Amino acid sequence: MGNLRNDGSGTYTCVQLARRPAGLPVAADWSLETTDIPGLGLGQFLVRITMISLDPAMRGWLDDRPSYLPPVAIGEVMRAGAVGEVISSNHPRFKIGDFVQGTFGVQEYAVSDGTGVTRIDPKLGTQSMYLGALGMTGMTAYFGFFDYGRPRAGDTVVVSAAAGAVGSIVGQLAKINGCHTVGLAGGPDKCAFVVNELGFDAAIDYKNANLRESFQQHCPAGIDVYFDNVGGAILNTALSQLAMHARIIICGAISQYNAESVTPGPSNYLALLVRRATMQGFLVFDHAGEYSVARKRLAQWAKAGKIIAPETIVPGKITDFHEVFMRLFAGDNTGKLILDISGH
Ligand SMILES: NC(=O)c1ccc[n+]([C@@H]2O[C@H](COP(=O)([O-])OP(=O)(O)OC[C@H]3O[C@@H](n4cnc5c(N)ncnc54)[C@H](OP(=O)(O)O)[C@@H]3O)[C@@H](O)[C@H]2O)c1
């Protein structure tokens, strides 16, 4: 990986945004740049990146429109969560040999001043778990479900993209909480995984089933909590099947992220009035101050075997970024999708 000499100098490769994608990103939207490893200033440390997180939100960061973060600029290193090892340090709290997690970007090395960086505690979990179940994914599931879903035992909880990184954790948290859980996933294999490995009570293959009939079959008293990762037609149909005082949590809308024209809003929104329901969006970053508590609870559940942390870890090089990123939109991942560049 890179070309690091004994004196700390050398070069490394990063992935920059070359142009804004129209619709689904293509390889030419990125450029590979080889640059010098910078020297460290006071209070800085150098991270050799081992694993890069692939997140649907990264697609949103490519569009030049107002959002919760500024868009990635043309020519800027692609923003991404990552983990890695501190290999040199002028920082009082981060030492050589520490493994850390932060928004280090799609590159082989990163210089950091420690802002937003978490030291990995191997007693809690692995490096990959700090990107998945104990990282942003797990935090999203935990705060989205508990704080906004306000679940009660016996609730019927429906989760879209249930075999994915966030959805797989939400469903398991719902089971821990005594809920009846129904997951939506694409294809029979993912649906079998959702029931047999994740412990959902039922799965709906949204690509092949009649959604309305499936909801009526698996949620006969209506949906109490709908944790939505996909938006679009699935959200619209779920709105038609709400129980009284249902909570709809808008976590994401991956079905719309590559849309080239304006997507219509859900026509069934008046169900919110009829069912006295609430539909609320949330952003995991608003809970940053509470991450350490959530991380400990999730780690305890994982240790106790109450949750599993599914991961699709793809070994490769930094140059494989585009191909691996695109798996998210093809549904070619189960659990947390990670590019592992530690072998290169
Ligand atoms: N609000 C927040 O703070 C926050 C934080 C993190 C993530 N999120 C959101 O949470 C959602 C899940 O993220 P994740 O990291 O866990 O991703 P993920 O679920 O692991 O991966 C994406 C999955 O979405 C499904 N999918 C892809 N295209 C689809 C389409 N057109 N229609 C329906 N489903 C589609 C695929 O599963 P199938 O094969 O089953 O179709 C795919 O495997 C995303 O919307 C993301 O933006 C929000």
In the predicted model, what is the mean pLDDT of residues 214-241?
Answer: 98
Residue 297 pLDDT > 90: yes
Q: What's the pLDDT tens digit per position in 20-57?
A: 999 999 999 999 999 999 999 999 999 999 999 999 99
Q: Decide: 226 and 250 in contact? Cβ < 8 Å.
A: no
For ligand 1, say whether the CB of 254 is within 6 Å of any of its atoms: yes
Which structural domain, as residue segments, surrounds residue 201?
Answer: 136-285
For ligand 1, say whether the CB of 16 is within 6 Å of any of its atoms: no
How many helices (H) and strands (E) would you count in the chain?
10, 16
Percentage with pLDDT > 90 across the chain = 96
Burial code (b: 16+ CB inside 10 Å, e: under 16) for 63-88 equals: eeeeeeeebbeeeebbbbbbbbbbbb
Query: What spatial distance separates the first Cα and last Cα of the chain, rounded to whole Å?
Result: 4
Distance 162 CA to ligand 1 centre (A): 9
Residue 5 pLDDT > 90: no
CATH number at residue 165: 3.40.50.720
Please give the model's pTM, rounded to 2 decimal places: 0.97
CATH number at residue 7: 3.90.180.10
Q: Output the pLDDT for position 131.
A: 98
123 plus 240 within the same structural domain: no
Residue 1 pLDDT > 70: no
163 plus 242 within the same structural domain: yes
For ligand 1, say whether the CB of 139 is within 6 Å of any of its atoms: no
Distance 270 CA to ligand 1 centre (A): 25
Provide the number of structural domains found in the chain.
Answer: 2
- Domain-embedded: residue 98: yes
For ligand 1, say whether the CB of 50 is within 6 Å of any of its atoms: no
For ligand 1, say whether the CB of 255 is within 6 Å of any of its atoms: yes
For ligand 1, say whether the CB of 117 is within 6 Å of any of its atoms: no
117 plus 158 within the same structural domain: no
- Domain-embedded: residue 57: yes
95 plus 186 within the same structural domain: no
Q: What is the sign of the dihedral through the CA atoms of 318, 123, 197 and 194?
A: negative
In the predicted model, what is the mean pLDDT of residues 74-86?
Answer: 98
160 plus 254 within the same structural domain: yes
The pLDDT-based confidence of 344 (bands split at 50, 70, 90) is confident
